Chains A and B, each alone.
Chain A
């Protein structure tokens, strides 16, 4: 799938919806509903809360349709910015707010650099696919919020490092550090799962 054409299509669909075409919104919603939902679900860990936040995010998109401009940002960036702000508001309201600009992960970088990539094509891993999924979700939930946010924005939203950095108001190097740490933690979790399966 060509990302640039998708972006152009997203922008066109959003502009068409702003002009009054409801089918454009249906297409746009079908394209991004899963990613936005998982981004929220991985953050809050609760399906009911995720449903509520998910509806809030799309209501904000509907209300802000006339203010959307193609030149401002890619539609995906704009959409995940709305979602990010909503999850930050949720953290604030629930007392789980963490200062996103402070990283406590620099000391752990060296420890995770040597974590090897998982070999998911191995038979034992494929057999334990269900358990792998549960373990992976648990590992993501165990990440610090700032690293989890950077990881989810990259994998679910498809945002670039610069876009993630702009969204969080930090430098690109900080985002790299967060992603490196998150990836290392997830690989470590998968290696432990493989070791358990071998025993």
Chain B
């Protein structure tokens, strides 16, 4: 047995080739050749159409894709912008910055019981300061040259003075309803007495502004946060003193006056009495009989 011969028989193959006379018709040959030539002739057109379609797709999709990329970048970068600004290094220097220096030239609003801002040599006083200094005053004592720094009140103190401020609001119609911010008694004792009513109204508006500034700077740091620490503490002291004057109730005044009188501190008691009279128009009428008699002798 010969497997190779079984698989491929040369004689059989020769016989097949000998009888392999069948061929396609001439018409079929012509049709196939013509189709082949047509396909070649049509190819450039096909390529041009394909190229045009590709260009059209490019023309339509690329601007859209570019716009989408820009949008994604903007949406992604914008939330990061504040953090980028915050990353700028902070300068640590004893000298105030230019912006701080210019702020220092502009005097801060003077609270009613705080010392007037010390004018800087060569700097013209602000119009508001001029008005305050030229306003008519009666029973005005020269304010003390320095104001003791205010300490921030404890939460318990703030709560008690909130309640006191609420009662004071009913008694004094001239004082607007403001959040109370009362310093400890030592600060109140160091505060200068109030002047007359018009000046008080003016200074109260300034104190309001000062209180606002103090409240804001205690929270999120704003532009005023760049003020020097001394300026900030001065404003806070003045604001807290003004608030204390308004927030103190009649009972507080009476209790303090009585304590000073009983302690024999005549000078301090007199100063406190003047402040009390400056704070209320009908101050003497509200005093109890024992203090009213004492106050009449202290005119």
Q: Do A and B come from one complex?
A: yes
CA distance A59 to B31 in the complex (A): 10
Asked if B95 is an interface residue, CB under 8 A from chain A, the answer is no
Asked if B98 is an interface residue, CB under 8 A from chain A, the answer is no
**Minimal beta-carbon separation of A54 from chain B (angstroms):** 5
Quick one: given A20-B43, A180-B7, are A41 and B22 in contact (CB under 8 Å)? yes
Chain A interface residue number, banded = 35 or more
Quick check: which of B13-21, B114-122, B171-179, B180-188 contacts chain A, the rest being far away? Answer: B13-21
Chain B interface residue number, banded = 20 to 34
Asked whether A155 lies within 8 Å of B6 as measured between CB atoms, the reply is no
A187 to chain B: which residues have CB within 8 Å? 9, 12
Asked if A186 is an interface residue, CB under 8 A from chain B, the answer is yes
Asked if A86 is an interface residue, CB under 8 A from chain B, the answer is no
Quick one: given A59-B35, A179-B7, A183-B6, are A117 and B12 in contact (CB under 8 Å)? yes
Quick one: given A22-B36, A55-B31, A113-B1, are A118 and B20 in contact (CB under 8 Å)? no
CA distance A20 to B43 in the complex (A): 8
B28 to chain A: which residues have CB within 8 Å? 51, 54-55
Asked whether B9 lies within 8 Å of A117 as measured between CB atoms, the reply is yes
Asked if A162 is an interface residue, CB under 8 A from chain B, the answer is no
CA distance A17 to B6 in the complex (A): 39
Quick one: given A51-B24, A120-B15, are A62 and B9 in contact (CB under 8 Å)? no
- Residue interface bits A159-181, CB-to-B below 8 A is 1, else 0: 00100000000000000100110
A63 to chain B: which residues have CB within 8 Å? 39
**Minimal beta-carbon separation of B36 from chain A (angstroms):** 4
Contact residues of A between 38 and 94, Cβ < 8 Å to B: 38, 41, 47, 50-51, 54-55, 58-59, 62-63, 65
Contact residues of A between 106 and 139, Cβ < 8 Å to B: 112-114, 117-120, 129, 132-133, 136-137
B53 to chain A: which residues have CB within 8 Å? none
Asked whether A38 lies within 8 Å of B3 as measured between CB atoms, the reply is no
Asked whether B14 lies within 8 Å of A33 as measured between CB atoms, the reply is no
Quick one: given A22-B40, A25-B33, A155-B16, are A33 and B24 in contact (CB under 8 Å)? yes
**Minimal beta-carbon separation of B17 from chain A (angstroms):** 8
What are some 17 contacts across the A-B interface (CB < 8 A)?
Answer: A26-B36, A29-B29, A29-B32, A29-B36, A34-B20, A54-B28, A55-B28, A62-B32, A112-B6, A117-B5, A117-B12, A119-B11, A132-B15, A155-B16, A176-B3, A180-B6, A186-B9
Q: A26-B33, A186-B9 are in contact. List 7 more A-B contacts (CB 8 A).
A: A22-B33, A22-B40, A25-B37, A33-B32, A133-B19, A156-B20, A186-B12
